[in-house]
Chains A and B, each alone.
Chain A
Amino acid sequence: MSAPAVKAPYGRLRRLPFWISGRGAVAGIPYLWLLLFFLLPFGIVLKISVAEPIIAQPPFTPLFGPDGSLQATLDNYRFLLEDSLYLIAYLNSLKLAGISTLLCLLIGYPMAYGITRAPRATRNILLLLVILPFWTSFLLRVYAWMGILRNNGLINNLLMSLGVIEQPIQMMNTDFAIYLGITYSYLPFMILPLYAALERLSPDLVEAAQDLGCRPWKAFVTITLPLSLPGIIAGCLLVFIPAVGEFVIPSLLGGPDSLMIGRVLWDEFFGNRDWPVASAVAIALLLVLVVPIMLFQRMNLRQARS
């Protein structure tokens, strides 16, 4: 029998470098995931955005020429600024996403508030109902709206058979249909963070405000609203960011003139096969979104500190 191995002192285990320890792995694996599936593709897109289009496979010039020199150009970005189509598409996307976010907030806040005030047993059912649409494919649900909004769809047929209207109302292929589609699809993303924020809020606070002389509406504005601000911000970000880049809803429900950046991106990639410009559009979109997020972050931090 061999002599027992010298045991490492107990403390050694704890002195493992952070990235190898269990805690490090728990935090590290998601980061590795992000690195692989976000940062790497982002790098590739960034690379393509500074290339020039050529008729070849792949359809862009390599980053380094045959002599090893760097072939990067900002022409694609310059092009984005020159052609007003892109600026209009960006602004239109921001407008559509902004208004949809506002609609989600206006509809979602009372809903979230109502859910927190419901009896505990009912509350879980109501929350389940909010999440229920996710059990059906997103695409399927948008197609379903086409069936409802079409000129010979559910609403128009009903209104015409009731004799309310004689001509069908044009709802498909309008901005209205896009607002409806985005608001409908993203509403749960607004309700859930709002619910989380409102649920943490003790009902005592509102009662205390009333006790001190606030009418119910004033108590809401001075107590409930400011204390649910983190939920409002989180919900708005969760709706606004994906809505800006939304492609499926505008292309299925929107009209030819409702230009959104997601569609422009698609057209550049698959219609024009101009990968470099398409990549530049994507990078610019990212910048458009990162700036407001960082502003929100800073505001949040400042609030947390004070």
Chain B
Amino acid sequence: MNSLVQTAAPDRVKNGWNRPEEAPFLRIEGVEKRFGGFAAVDGVSLDIYRKELFCLLGGSGCGKTTLLRILAGFEQPTAGRIYLDGSDMTDVPPYERPINMMFQSYALFPHMSVESNVAFGLKQEGLPRKEIARRVADALELVQLGPLAKRRPHQLSGGQRQRVALARCLVKRPKLLLLDEPLAALDKKLREHTQFELMNIQEEVGITFIVVTHDQEEAMSLSTRIAVMDRGQIVQVGTPTEIYEYPETRFTANFIGSINFFDGRIARVEGENLTVAVPQLGRDLLVRSKKELSPGTEVCVAIRPEKIAISRQPLDLPNGVKGKVRDLGYLGSVSVYRVELENGCLIKVTAANTLHSAEREVDWDDEVYLGWRATSALVLTE
């Protein structure tokens, strides 16, 4: 039996944030990090629960890596506290934290074999030789690198190096594992494969993971929850579905996937049904929203490209516009259309290619009708 794998059946329901009785495993309280006058991390508070695979998502320079380094102990926060499993970690040096970090560069020790790299952390704990050997073997087996134990890092491929780095962290049985852009150095095909492997391993060992990434697809497919960061602050926290379907701000909506925005003003409110006057389109849009909004408020109507129907025939939908196909990007499974309205406004639409390309319905320069339901669009106020 692999000593790193949990003996109890892995808990597949990792939704601690939905259970009020569960205490957060990692609590970040008002953490701030200033470099001179610049706030790299600006008042971040987060609760992360046991066994989560939590993603910090944001563009470069948004402070996600700094936050990760604060958690690892490499940076001292200017303000705020960090609690892990009930104990205050803020002033604990990195070598005493039950937290391990997998570096973006993997940071494997080039002068040591794979085996010694993995054993390194256990040697620091002063464990008996036999125990170290057993745990190293288990860790290497977990990442399927047993046969390469004697190799040096430079003799390994990128994917293998990534697995050594992972094994080197897991073997320490940390309470929390931090991963800085774990898949960034791999090519696309390998990335997809490794992504699922990472999720499986996380489930097997039952360790809480925090992943930093700039890749929204990666964040969506990996994580239990995502925190979107911008300019040192957390913009929104939620499950991948929540983040994608119900973004709270223009920034989040735009950062995750692509989206069309129409600025307008609320004309009428009837319960949950809103009518928004959009001068850009020269017509009113019907949107359904649970937000409490009053007529006259400046809002932004946002709609995802795949939620817009495109057809050469008029559509029977509450919201519709007419335009001409300006650009057509054929991506295989889907096609991306850029439709220009009569007033020059461009709308992005994606449609699944259910038919064979020879019988493609909509083509360049076709006159098309676009339409969507009232529930498909969102109303954003920020």
Contact = CB atoms under 8 A, between A and B. Distances in A.
Interface in A207-235: 207-215, 218, 222-223, 226-227
Contacts, number: 53
A207 B94 contact: yes
B188 interface: no
B295 interface: no
B103 A212 contact: no
* Chain A contact residues: helix, strand, loop or mixed: helix
B36 to A, nearest CB: 12
A289 to B, nearest CB: 29
B105 A204 contact: yes
Contact of B94 (A211, A222, A226, A227): A211
Nearest to A207: B74
B72 A211 contact: yes
Interface string B70-87: 001110000000000000
Contact of A204 (B95, B96, B107, B125): B107
B304 interface: no
Counting chain A CB atoms within 10 Å of each CB, the highest count among B72, B107, B121, B125 belongs to B107
B74 A212 contact: no
B168 interface: yes
Contact of B107 (A207, A213, A218, A226): A207
B103 A213 contact: no
25 contacts: A202-B105, A204-B103, A204-B107, A207-B72, A207-B74, A207-B101, A207-B103, A207-B107, A208-B101, A208-B107, A208-B109, A209-B120, A210-B74, A210-B93, A210-B94, A211-B95, A211-B99, A212-B95, A212-B124, A212-B168, A213-B124, A213-B125, A214-B124, A226-B111, A227-B111
Contacts of B105: 202, 204
A212 B72 contact: no
Contacts of A218: 124
Contacts of B107: 202, 204-205, 207-208
A215 B96 CA distance: 9
Contact of A210 (B95, B110, B111, B125): B95
B231 to A, nearest CB: 24
Contacts of A209: 109, 120
In this complex, the interface size class of chain A, counting residues with CB under 8 Å from chain B, is 10 to 19
Interface residues of B, number: 22
Interface in B138-193: 168, 172
B74 A223 contact: no
Interface of B: 72-74, 93-96, 99-101, 103, 105, 107, 109-111, 120-121, 124-125, 168, 172
Counting chain A CB atoms within 10 Å of each CB, the highest count among B74, B94, B168, B172 belongs to B94
Contacts of A210: 74, 93-95
Contact of A227 (B72, B110, B168): B110
Contacts of B168: 212
9 residue pairs, one from A and one from B, having the closest CB atoms: A213-B124, A212-B121, A208-B107, A204-B107, A210-B94, A210-B95, A204-B103, A204-B105, A211-B101
A212 B172 contact: yes
B88 to A, nearest CB: 19
Nearest to A306: B152
A136 B100 CA distance: 51
Nearest to A208: B107
Contact of A213 (B72, B95, B101, B111): B95
A208 B112 CA distance: 14
Interface string A191-214: 000000000001011011111111
Nearest to B72: A211
Counting chain B CB atoms within 10 Å of each CB, the highest count among A208, A218, A222 belongs to A208
A229 to B, nearest CB: 9
A205 to B, nearest CB: 5
Contacts of B111: 226-227
Contact of B100 (A202, A212, A226, A227): A212
A215 B72 CA distance: 14
Counting chain B CB atoms within 10 Å of each CB, the highest count among A209, A213, A214 belongs to A213
Contacts of B121: 212-213
B116 to A, nearest CB: 10
Interface in A168-204: 202, 204
A96 B251 CA distance: 68
A300 to B, nearest CB: 14
Contacts of A226: 111
A238 to B, nearest CB: 23
Contacts of A215: 95
A260 B200 CA distance: 69
A190 to B, nearest CB: 22
B103 A208 contact: yes
Contacts of A202: 105, 107
A223 B124 contact: no
B67 to A, nearest CB: 16
B124 A205 contact: no
A223 B108 CA distance: 11
Contacts of B100: 211-212
A207 B125 CA distance: 17
Nearest to B119: A212
Contacts of B110: 227
Contacts of A211: 72-74, 94-95, 99-101
A202 B103 CA distance: 11
A279 to B, nearest CB: 44
A222 B168 CA distance: 16
Contacts of A205: 107, 109
B121 to A, nearest CB: 4
B72 to A, nearest CB: 6
Given A212-B95, A214-B124, 13 more contacts: A202-B105, A204-B107, A207-B107, A210-B94, A211-B74, A211-B99, A213-B96, A213-B121, A213-B124, A213-B125, A222-B120, A223-B109, A226-B111
